[in-house]
């Protein structure tokens, strides 16, 4: 009898050991908090970018606050901009937040929360360019970021054969500097960041399109949509969102 008991005890010990060793090594107090995953493309400063291994930016900070409101921990999942909506639809991430413009086409695929920021599509050209306005883009080579509104609209307006789509905005800028394209159409805040980082480029004064940024949520997940909207409402009312935006964008 004694032998059987000690055998059972030993088995229990081994089982416990196996189970316990599966716990993460660095257990933090909130390790049991629900994780909420944000799909983004962290090459879109000042909304999302990487500093070393850390994700930073307006969207990352707002999402962190939203997660807090939801009692969850934020996990940022970096991917190509063009994959975000599919990833939301397939439930690989809980929401998409990437300076993403609300469009009628996208609304067929995902639900959007209320808008938290305004975006403007602008045109970047070399300082000595002969392109002075939107008409000047006719017949020129335009660089864009694949799947963005700048990409979609410019293919419509200037012809698909005149638009070269890159997977990253930064790659379109490299192409512009190398003379592979004559202009780049992209959102105004990343445009400002790119022009500040690269000599010899300027932003045209004419704006190409004015848009609303919002968070994309899976169609079926209306519960999460409502929760994020409630969080956004609170964070807008108490000034948190304005404060976050002001941290990254100086008022003009
Ligand atoms: N606002 C643009 C869009 O939604 C670009 C966003 C981005 O490149 N991250 O298409």
The per-residue pLDDT for range 125-153, each reduced to its tens digit, is 999 999 999 999 999 999 999 999 999 99
Q: Where are the domains of the chain?
A: 34-116+214-248, 119-210
The whole-angstrom separation of Cα 111 and Cα 108 is 8
Pocket of ligand 1 (CB under 6 A): 41, 44, 81, 98-101, 119, 145, 148-149, 187
CA of 98 to the centre of ligand 1 (A): 7
Q: How many CA atoms does the CB half-sphere of 66 hold within 13 Å?
A: 31
Q: Tell me whether residue 82 is exposed, middle or buried, using C-beta atoms within 10 angstroms of its C-beta: 0 to 12, 13 to 18, 19 or more.
A: middle
The answer to whether domain 34-116+214-248 and domain 119-210 are alike in fold is yes
Q: What's the whole-number mean pLDDT along residues 60-89? A: 97
Q: Note if the bond before 233 is cis, omega within 30 degrees.
A: no
**Ligand 1, residues 149, 155, 169, 171: which to mutate, most atoms within 8 A of Cβ?**
149
Topology of the domain covering 34-116+214-248: D-Maltodextrin-Binding Protein; domain 2 (3.40.190)
CA of 169 to the centre of ligand 1 (A): 10
**pLDDT score, position 6:** 56
The per-residue pLDDT for range 219-237, each reduced to its tens digit, is 999 999 999 999 999 999 9
The per-residue pLDDT for range 15-54, each reduced to its tens digit, is 444 444 444 444 455 556 799 999 999 999 999 999 999 9
119-210: CATH class: alpha beta
Q: How many C-beta atoms surround the C-beta of residue 223 within 10 A?
A: 9
The whole-angstrom separation of Cα 44 and Cα 20 is 41
The whole-angstrom separation of Cα 122 and Cα 133 is 10
């Amino acid at each position: 009898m004694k032998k059987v008991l000690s055998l059972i005890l030993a088995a229990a010990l081994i089982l416990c050991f196996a189970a316990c060793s599966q716990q993460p090594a660095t257990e933090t107090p909130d390790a049991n908090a629900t994780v909420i995953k944000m799909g983004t493309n962290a090459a879109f400063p000042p909304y999302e970018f990487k500093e070393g291994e850390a994700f930073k930016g307006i969207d990352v900070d707002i999402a962190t606050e939203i997660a807090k409101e939801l009692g969850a921990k934020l996990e940022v999942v970096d991917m190509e901009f063009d994959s975000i909506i599919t990833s939301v639809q397939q439930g690989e991430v809980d929401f998409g937040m990437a300076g993403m413009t609300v469009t009628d086409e996208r609304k067929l695929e995902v639900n959007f929360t209320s808008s938290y920021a305004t975006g403007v599509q602008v045109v970047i050209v070399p300082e000595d360019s002969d392109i002075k306005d939107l008409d000047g883009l006719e017949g020129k080579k335009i660089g864009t970021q694949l799947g963005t509104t700048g990409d979609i609209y410019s293919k419509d307006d200037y012809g698909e054969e005149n638009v070269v789509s890159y997977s990253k905005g930064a790659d379109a800028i490299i192409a512009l500097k190398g003379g592979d394209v004559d202009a780049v159409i992209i959102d105004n805040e990343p445009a400002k960041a790119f022009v500040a980082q690269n000599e010899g480029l300027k932003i045209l004064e004419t704006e190409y399109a004015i848009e609303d940024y919002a968070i994309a949520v899976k169609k079926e997940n209306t519960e999460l949509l409502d929760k994020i909207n409630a969080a956004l409402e609170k964070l807008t009312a108490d000034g948190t969102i304005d404060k976050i935006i002001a941290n990254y964008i100086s008022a003009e």
